[in-house]
Structure 1
Amino acid sequence: MKKRRIWFGLLAMTLMLSVLLGRLAWIQIIDSGSFSRREIDLIGNSVGQREQGIELDSGRGQFYDRNGLPITGETVRALVLFPVKRSAADKDGGMRQIARILGAEEKSWNDFYANANVPKMWTEPGTGLPIPLNADQARRIVQLAVPGAEVMETVRRYPANAAAKHAIGFIGQNPQRIESRFAKQLSRGSLSLTSRIGAAGLEKTMEPYLQGVGKTSVSLFTDGNNRPLSGLDVRLVSPGNPYYPLRVQTTLDLNVQRKVERILDQAGIASGAAVVLDAENADVLAMVSKPDFDPYRILPDNGDWGNKAIKAIAPGSVFKTAVAAAALEEGIVKPDETFECNGTFGKYGFTCWLHGGHGTITLEQAFAQSCNVVFAKVMQRLSGEKLQEIAHKLGLDRQVGWTEENSGGQAWSQLDGEERGQIFAGRLPSEDEGIRVQTAIGQRDVLVSPLQAANLVVTLLHGGEVFSPRIVRDVRYRSNTVAQSFPVHVLSSSQDGISSRTSHEIGKWMQEVVRTGTGKPLQQAKWKLAGKSGTAETTVGGRAAVHQWFVGYGPVERPQYAVAVVAENEPENGPNRSLAAFRDIMNALAAQ
């Protein structure tokens, strides 16, 4: 009887052990990700207890210039500190040596080191950006071989000397936009509500192409005593996808972009913009906006990050280009007709900028000298409706940046927030003479962006054909195979625009501006240039100020570039910063 009880006991224990082993097998192999009513992920948690990692690259796509040079995505070496068990010598000696190598302030280093109970990177205070190590610092830290102190390569999205900041834009958290615009990615788990997505510029418009398939991180595996596990140690975890992240190939020329940025700084343009277009197809080669901003420190109430190159402001006498084209198209002025300018118009308190007037001059001479009175008299003969029609044909009063309809029938533009500008308030032509006279000199309600102004020049050079400036040429896989291309667009053919005769005539008048008119200082430039100046009256903080403009092209013999420069809110009688910057930009392009 006793033997039978022992035998049944052993059998029961065997059965219980079998059930337990089976349950463990089920948990570990078959249903490891969902255990008990609390759905505890055993594998995930076990790995989390011994794997401690830090992100090195978000996996987001990067921007490149037309020549393949990177605009974003700077790879730097940085110190990564893992919380591992260290000897007293490592703590007192090795860590102090690392601090000296870094040139770290004692308090900052102590705060960093004492609180390193999770993997941490040595970063700039405030931004969390990795502090780059030079080659000597990296070598010396590696030689110390302090446990858990690793020199790793990481990616800073925006380089310290980042270019084209306003065109590229910046990223940030926007849970509402993720929910409304990227619901599918949110449900798949490729995005979370805290993900950083494009908030402005190309970062925003190209967001669907920039989203990656996973980050690259580094992990250190430790045992229960926080000591590195032999054989595992530091491991790099990467998606390993041969196609992602994608590469956004812009039309920007990084060399030209940097030169134009320096030139605007040297010219003392604190607020304004410059645009350089390829005269052949209106591709954006450089797009600069001032003031500058830090993409890592965005202040919502500070508009410095706004791209002034695509914002519309009063163009002043630059708009006389459209008035002159309308007058020629309508035939309301004879080629040899002369006008009288004695400095005043006689109505509305309207005067010419030149005290005493320009005397007897033709319309061509009035264009070169930028005579307000002559253009006011021309506008008396021209209807507001016809002026608006011609301006539209020239690419004004509408968005000109590269745009297409998406699958949902909505317009998608490469340029974030481009303003279309206007000719008359409410975009309804006015036949009131006083309004038309002010409109003739680019004041009153006229608004034009630097991009439109530069594109206007390209339109004239192409006989009235209006191009749609693009800033992105294509998107490529990691293998450099094209995933999506954006071909050159024409907004209006030459048949739908102004005549080639008028276009060429205005182009010649721009040459006269430099020969005998307001652009004479450009005669000393390396190239023979042509253009049109503009000065628009405005107010800043209750004081009178002006927007200084100069737009044009060069070289005259074989136009390669169309350029627009605006210096905003300058003193009324201050130096012409826009003209000086235009000259220096053209000289820099001539030296290419």
Structure 2
Amino acid sequence: MLSRKRTIAAGVSILLLILCLMYRLADIQLISTKSFSKNNVNLIQESVNQRTHRFTINDGRGYFLDRNGELLSTDVKPQIVVFPNLYKKDWPIVTISEILQLPPQKIEEMIYQLKKPSALLLPAELTLQQMNRINELEIPGLYAQLVTRRKPLPFANHIIGAVGEDPDLIKQKYKDKLDKGTVSIATKTGKNGMQYTFDPFLISEGETQFIYHVDRQGNPLFGLDVKYRTQTNPLYPLHVKTTIDKKMQEAVERYLSIHQVEAGGAVLIDVETNELLAMASRPVFNSKTIYKHENKMTTHQIPGSIFKIVTAAAAIEENKVQNDKRYDCNVNIYGKQDERQLGMLNFEESFSRSCNKTFGDLANELVAENNNIIEEYAEKLGLLEFNGWRGQVYHFDNFSHFYQEEQGQIRNPNKKMQDYQSPLAISQTAIGQLDVRITPLAAANMMATIARGGTWSEVKAAKSVNFANGTELVEFKDHNGKKESLSPYTMMRLQSLLVNVVKDENGTGHALQSLPFQVAGKTGTAQKGEEANVYIKWFAGYFPADNPKFALVVVDMKHDTVNRTTSVYADIAKVVMEISDREE
């Protein structure tokens, strides 16, 4: 009896196992063919991929152009594409070698080394004439083609950003496209920078490829025909025309590297249009550190004496400046002897030589009448809000040109108001220390605002989004926020103060006197947290001072004994002016 029960149990177990295997097989073959397992694998597509040799000419993703129409995010190069399994001895190798000006054996050697469809690594760039002659031969498996490839990450690293696969993001943002089959979970999306913010316009609607089907042994399935597959909509891919000047961007990156700025960066703005011309942040990221190294130009930093511009503006506007009054600049805001013995200075001298005591005293005088006056003037100069372009674009209510831009702050929101009411706390705030934080982008925009005489507007990083044929899809109009928020007299005084920082032989920016044009600006040095020997060094300004064209901010967040900021600023400014003169 026991033996019979065991037999039945074993039989039932085997039957259940067979049923499970049958269900599993049915699931694979019939039920979950397009969404198998928790990873939603498309088994039909994967099966096709195993039997397909392909070469991608263009991934179908939209791209970025600079303000002059030059490619920023991609390179387009003429290349020879070879399907090695279609190579036959009757190929006209001699004719091909004559066109490419390479020995026949060298070409055969390159082909034999290929394991899959690839572009030949030629010693010289292919010309369009050579491309046409190759294609006239009509050789199966050999094609001359303009191939699009993404630029290496270091160029315009943080402002343009990177792309990569993110199945979760695809499911979250593009469920409708995923359901329609226009995208897959393997479609690349923007990870950061403008690649992320403009991703809805840039995401690929289909790749352009050479496709060739083979059997298990790699032999042709459908003869020697290689298919050419491309997007069905001729208006795609879209492209973004940015405001960036490629040559100026290259100059900014080059001099940050030459002067070994390890942490920090630079922002360059066109004063007249308030458009971003260049932005670079250090350290750059790679595919493994995309989320580790943020864009320091759009995240808030300790401004140090850059913030004295705000205190000066408040003092001028509120009639607290007495031209004949002198301040004891041998003493610091702590009431002790200062490291720099500057002597007795008036207001203008205090600004150009960056005396902390003067601006600490003025701030206390101002706050005695209005507790929020420093915050009010920081807001008038645009330091406490988003400075990058943002607004409604189609159904995107808060579309932004800048990825994860931060707003500035005067106080830490987690602290109490009374923490900022002591004379020392007021003085520290007045000179851009304590909990004051602004972004370098905001600082550059403030300089552009002062250079224009007071009109503030958001900084644009893109002019438009266009169809493939150049027709405009979206135009980004100027967003003017504050108009003449400070009196013309105050703006004129600020301009004069900024010029004197460089003109004054004892001014903190006097090193820029060697340039062939006048620079107006302000230096800033801020202690970085608790690290006593590590400072954030700034130079923010505009040039030429008598006819402002460019606002530039340079930040070195790992300043030690070497003053890099003015050297970087001088080199960038000089090249930018040269480029500008040539473009005009």
By the TM > 0.5 criterion, same fold? Answer: yes
Q: State the alpha-carbon separation in 2 of the partners of residues 61 and 518 from structure 1.
A: 45
Q: State the alpha-carbon separation in 2 of the partners of residues 485 and 256 from structure 1.
A: 23
Q: State the alpha-carbon separation in 2 of the partners of residues 536 and 88 from structure 1.
A: 71
Equivalent position SS for 1:489: coil
Question: For residue 452 of structure 2, what is the amino acid of its counterpart?
Answer: H
Structure-to-structure mapping, 1:352-501, within 5 angstroms: 352-354=338-340, 357-383=341-367, 384-405=371-392, 410-426=397-413, 430-494=420-484, 497-501=485-489
Aligned to 1:505: 493
Q: Offset at 1:518?
A: 1.0
Shift of the 155–132 alpha-carbon distance from structure 1 to 2, 3 Å rule, reads: farther
Pick aligned residue for 2:546 from 557, 569, 579: 557
Q: State the alpha-carbon separation in 2 of the partners of residues 558 and 589 from structure 1.
A: 15
Shift of the 237–417 alpha-carbon distance from structure 1 to 2, 3 Å rule, reads: same
1:157 is aligned to 2:150:
yes
Shift of the 312–286 alpha-carbon distance from structure 1 to 2, 3 Å rule, reads: same
Equivalent position SS for 1:548: strand
Aligned to 1:182: 174
Aligned to 2:219: 226
Residues 188 and 203, structure 2, Cα contact 8 Å, conserved in 1: no
Residues 276 and 561, structure 1, Cα contact 8 Å, conserved in 2: yes
Q: State the alpha-carbon separation in 1 of the partners of residues 46 and 271 from structure 2.
A: 60
1:309 is aligned to 2:297:
yes
Q: Offset at 1:88?
A: 8.4
Equivalent position SS for 1:506: helix
Structure-to-structure mapping, 1:11-26, within 5 angstroms: none
Equivalent position SS for 1:192: coil
Equivalent position SS for 1:154: strand
Q: What's the TM-score, normalizing by structure 1?
A: 0.79
Q: What's the TM-score, normalizing by structure 2?
A: 0.80
Of the structure 1 ranges 206-215 and 557-566, higher mean CA displacement relative to structure 2 is found in 206-215
Shift of the 447–46 alpha-carbon distance from structure 1 to 2, 3 Å rule, reads: closer
Of the structure 1 ranges 241-250 and 419-428, higher mean CA displacement relative to structure 2 is found in 419-428
Shift of the 80–421 alpha-carbon distance from structure 1 to 2, 3 Å rule, reads: same
Aligned to 1:57: 58
Q: State the alpha-carbon separation in 1 of the partners of residues 199 and 277 from structure 2.
A: 22
Q: Offset at 1:491?
A: 2.1
Pick aligned residue for 2:228 from 227, 236, 239: 236
Equivalent position SS for 1:312: coil
Q: State the alpha-carbon separation in 1 of the partners of residues 566 and 31 from structure 2.
A: 71
Residues 153 and 162, structure 2, Cα contact 8 Å, conserved in 1: no
Structure-to-structure mapping, 1:41-120, within 5 angstroms: 52-78=53-79, 80-82=81-83, 84=85, 113=114, 116=115, 119-120=116-117
Q: State the alpha-carbon separation in 2 of the partners of residues 131 and 197 from structure 1.
A: 29
Equivalent position SS for 1:398: coil
Q: Offset at 1:156?
A: 0.8
Pick aligned residue for 1:216 from 208, 211, 216: 208
Q: Offset at 1:412?
A: 2.2
Question: For residue 566 of structure 1, what is the amino acid of its counterpart?
Answer: V
Shift of the 48–524 alpha-carbon distance from structure 1 to 2, 3 Å rule, reads: closer
Equivalent position SS for 1:569: strand
Cα deviation per residue 1:180-238 (whole Å; 9 max; x = unaligned)?
Answer: 222222222222222210110000000111123321011236699824866x6233221
Shift of the 569–103 alpha-carbon distance from structure 1 to 2, 3 Å rule, reads: farther
Question: For residue 401 of structure 2, what is the amino acid of its counterpart?
Answer: Q
1:340 is aligned to 2:328:
yes
Q: State the alpha-carbon separation in 2 of the partners of residues 134 and 247 from structure 1.
A: 29
Q: Offset at 1:459?
A: 1.6
Pick aligned residue for 2:118 from 121, 125, 132: 121
Shift of the 388–155 alpha-carbon distance from structure 1 to 2, 3 Å rule, reads: same
Aligned to 1:324: 312
Highest Rg: 1 or 2?
A: 1
Q: How many residues align?
A: 524
Structure 2 residue runs of 5 or longer lacking an equivalent are 1-28, 35-43, 97-102, 580-584
Structure-to-structure mapping, 1:533-552, within 5 angstroms: 533-538=523-528, 542=531, 544-552=533-541
Q: Offset at 1:525?
A: 0.3
Shift of the 46–371 alpha-carbon distance from structure 1 to 2, 3 Å rule, reads: closer
Residues 399 and 420, structure 1, Cα contact 8 Å, conserved in 2: yes
Residues 527 and 586, structure 1, Cα contact 8 Å, conserved in 2: no
Residues 64 and 73, structure 2, Cα contact 8 Å, conserved in 1: yes
Shift of the 100–545 alpha-carbon distance from structure 1 to 2, 3 Å rule, reads: farther
1:585 is aligned to 2:572:
yes
Q: Offset at 1:99?
A: 9.4
Structure 1 residue runs of 5 or longer lacking an equivalent are 1-35, 123-129
Cα deviation per residue 1:496-529 (whole Å; 9 max; x = unaligned)?
Answer: x222221121111001111111111111101111
Cα deviation per residue 1:336-383 (whole Å; 9 max; x = unaligned)?
Answer: 322222233454x6x6451xx322211111000100111111122122
1:570 is aligned to 2:559:
yes
Residues 78 and 126, structure 2, Cα contact 8 Å, conserved in 1: no
Equivalent position SS for 1:307: coil
Equivalent position SS for 1:490: coil
Q: State the alpha-carbon separation in 1 of the partners of residues 281 and 298 from structure 2.
A: 9
Q: Offset at 1:291?
A: 2.1
Q: Percent identity?
A: 30
Residues 467 and 490, structure 1, Cα contact 8 Å, conserved in 2: yes
Aligned to 2:272: 280
Residues 359 and 430, structure 2, Cα contact 8 Å, conserved in 1: yes
Q: State the alpha-carbon separation in 1 of the partners of residues 365 and 559 from structure 2.
A: 33
Cα deviation per residue 1:69-105 (whole Å; 9 max; x = unaligned)?
Answer: 1102212355655363666899xx99xx99955998x
1:265 is aligned to 2:257:
yes
Cα deviation per residue 1:22-72 (whole Å; 9 max; x = unaligned)?
Answer: xxxxxxxxxxxxxx977999x999998986433221111110011111102
Q: Offset at 1:463?
A: 3.0
Cα deviation per residue 1:555-585 (whole Å; 9 max; x = unaligned)?
Answer: 11111111111111111x32x2111111112
Residues 447 and 541, structure 2, Cα contact 8 Å, conserved in 1: yes
Equivalent position SS for 2:427: helix
Question: For residue 521 of structure 1, what is the amino acid of its counterpart?
Answer: A
Equivalent position SS for 2:481: strand
Q: State the alpha-carbon separation in 2 of the partners of residues 338 and 202 from structure 1.
A: 49
Q: State the alpha-carbon separation in 2 of the partners of residues 287 and 268 from structure 1.
A: 17
Aligned to 2:19: none
Aligned to 2:39: none
Question: For residue 374 of structure 1, what is the amino acid of its counterpart?
Answer: T
Aligned to 1:204: 196
Q: State the alpha-carbon separation in 1 of the partners of residues 355 and 218 from structure 2.
A: 84
Q: State the alpha-carbon separation in 2 of the partners of residues 445 and 45 from structure 1.
A: 54
Q: State the alpha-carbon separation in 2 of the partners of residues 152 and 82 from structure 1.
A: 13
